[in-house]
Structure 1
């Protein structure tokens, strides 16, 4: 930690020198404004809200000898690491252009600006300071509620065609959840690395971190709905077993609604109830697991157990964010 001496300036002011490296790295000069914030006996010094525009980050991705899965991982990773320009270079005729375009289209704010026979360039056109993290959480919540309801319907539906429609709808909404998750991850990381972004969002580092935890839990719950629906479609179980699953599933839906209510209203009593009742839900899953006679049915129960664990963690996040 660097120490600086406080010096008196005139009769009513005090001054302190700033590290030259910090001044240079932020391209500051005499007369520039700085932002001061008092916090628990400390003073946080940062660049003013009229901060100079940061240079754009660019990355080049070569597709040579790479699977589409590998390319997707690199593109998504670059997006999550806040690259503004992503250039994808081809070697010869690239036959996977539709798949690569689909990867880019599934990343909010990323637009294809240039395409030739040798490369494709995508640019982030979204202003992260205009993204509302709380609105993202509410949007993910709304989507999840419909996914859970459709997931429950999968266990009572007997018409194969209708079951397939339910499964497709859940899968498509999981893609929406993923898009929102990726967007929020990018925005929150930007805000944590650049304090002016956080101030523009109206969130301090702890609020950003807490929101990131909630969003992660929601994304995991979405993944579980997709897997449960696909497993239900492909498994053959008795009507009695499916009815038992449906009852457990409905109880988890109720607890999910409760925990999100506790989050929005900061209701600790509800959060504690969801937390302490989780063991009963896990026990119910374990009992039904003993009655499962196939790998698919066992995986359904495992995903339900994971779902209730994520619900429990949301309740812990609510409890843990109290002042």
Structure 2
């Protein structure tokens, strides 16, 4: 794209004027006295547009299905279209839409946020996004994800003592909710890449939206590790694990959660020094996890294996929290210009 340089002139002693490219005027069919929209962008640039009325961009994705359609694959495609930012999804079939396809659509609307079936016939199903992006700001979503993963982690470690299987089931449900929120953040970010005006409406820069997307992806992965911890804790319930190992696992868990909490807190409070100190804590966690594994190897194979998986996931949660602190530092350095 070639940049044109034009000089600003003054008329009437107080008004600044700049001429517009003739080619642009002709291609947009602009006539004399026609109003144009001017938008001040966060980076200091000025956007000139012919769209002076607010218009919601609706991207439509269509999927053709038949009796051989794999329902699991269709579900993945629907989720992909959702994350990509499509405002409307149409499913069509030459024959009657099968029950398994309808089941996949129903599951899709249950595991995503704002997606609803608005039209349905024997041969077509139309799904629309009914959520306004500004109703779910990035910072609120990230804070929710943090609290949910934190609660999941605490519950998983508690199960070492009480062996409550219902707690494990609750962790699995919460993990699904964490996935839903991560998909929403990814969707909103992709929508911004398609429609830069959305960033204006949500009062956020594209750079900051990218930062939130990275954070949500890391927290979602932390949630996966919490589920791994819960599944292995379930194998160790009862008297199969001695008190010393339980205490060390609890200590490692506390350190990992403390790093996680401080990483999120430092990011939102914009404390760059705190983020830096937080990174150093990961070394302490790594040493403790090595100590637990060394002690566990003296136990039976099944116990040693489960403890190994637990400590590895606790260590990975701490390292992911370290990544969050690094993202906070990068973001704050970028703001300090």
Q: What's the TM-score once normalised by structure 1's chain length?
A: 0.86
Q: Is the 8 A contact 2:58 2:87 kept in 1?
A: yes
**Higher Rg of the two aligned structures:** 2
Query: 2:140 is matched with which residue: 125, 135, 141?
Result: 135
Q: Which 10-residue stretch deviates more, 29-38 or 261-270?
A: 29-38
Q: Which 10-residue stretch deviates more, 263-272 or 201-210?
A: 263-272
What's the CA shift string for 1:271-292, capped at 9, x where partnerless?
A: 1121112122123223333435
The separation in 2 between residues aligned to 1:280 and 1:22, in whole angstroms, is 64
The correspondence of residues 1-323 of structure 1 with structure 2, limited to 5 A, is 1-7=1-7, 9-11=9-11, 13-18=16-21, 20=23, 30-37=34-41, 39=43, 43-45=45-47, 47=49, 50-64=52-66, 65-89=68-92, 93-95=98-100, 97-158=102-163, 162=164, 164-235=165-236, 237-239=240-242, 240-290=244-294, 291-292=296-297, 293-294=301-302, 295-322=305-332, 323=336
Q: CA deviation at 1:28?
A: 7.1
SS in 2 for 1:156: helix
SS in 1 for 2:63: strand
Where has structure 1 moved over 6 Å in runs of 4 or more? none
Q: Is the 8 A contact 2:64 2:91 kept in 1?
A: yes
Q: CA deviation at 1:312?
A: 0.3
Q: Which 10-residue stretch deviates more, 198-207 or 253-262?
A: 253-262
Q: Which 10-residue stretch deviates more, 205-214 or 51-60?
A: 51-60
Q: Is the 8 A contact 2:36 2:52 kept in 1?
A: no
Q: CA deviation at 1:140?
A: 1.5
Structure 2 residues without counterparts, runs of 5 or longer: none
Structure 1 residues without counterparts, runs of 5 or longer: none
What's the CA shift string for 1:192-214, capped at 9, x where partnerless?
A: 33222111111112221222222
What's the CA shift string for 1:15-67, capped at 9, x where partnerless?
A: 14348469858x9774221213474xx53425489454244221122344343
Q: CA deviation at 1:258?
A: 1.7
The separation in 2 between residues aligned to 1:28 and 1:52, in whole angstroms, is 19
What's the CA shift string for 1:104-137, capped at 9, x where partnerless?
A: 2211110011233433321111122333211111
SS in 2 for 1:103: helix
Cα-Cα RMSD: 2.8
Q: Is the 8 A contact 2:89 2:126 kept in 1?
A: yes
The separation in 2 between residues aligned to 1:211 and 1:275, in whole angstroms, is 19
SS in 1 for 2:175: helix
Q: CA deviation at 1:79?
A: 0.3
Q: Is the 8 A contact 2:256 2:315 kept in 1?
A: no
Q: CA deviation at 1:89?
A: 3.7
Q: CA deviation at 1:316?
A: 0.6
Q: CA deviation at 1:87?
A: 2.0
The separation in 1 between residues aligned to 2:257 and 2:17, in whole angstroms, is 59
Q: CA deviation at 1:267?
A: 1.8
